[in-house]
Amino acid sequence: MVVRRRARRFLLPVLLYAVSAGMVSYFMYHANTGARGLEAKERYEVLAADLGRELDDARRERAEWERRIALLRSDQIDRDLLEERARVMLGRVHKNDLVIITGP
**What was the pLDDT predicted at 1?**
56
**What was the pLDDT predicted at 21?**
96
**What was the pLDDT predicted at 3?**
65
Mean pLDDT, the chain, as a whole number?
86
**What was the pLDDT predicted at 74?**
65
Tens digit of each residue's pLDDT, the chain (104 residues): 566 778 788 888 999 999 999 999 999 998 888 888 888 899 999 999 999 999 999 999 999 999 888 877 767 777 777 787 888 788 777 778 777 778 77
Answer whether 80's CB lies under 8 Å from 71's CB. no
**What was the pLDDT predicted at 4?**
75
pTM score, whole prediction: 0.51
Instruction: Output Rg (C-alpha) for the chain, integer angstroms.
Output: 35
Burial 81-95 (b: 16+ CB within 10 A, else e): eeeeeeeeeeeeeee
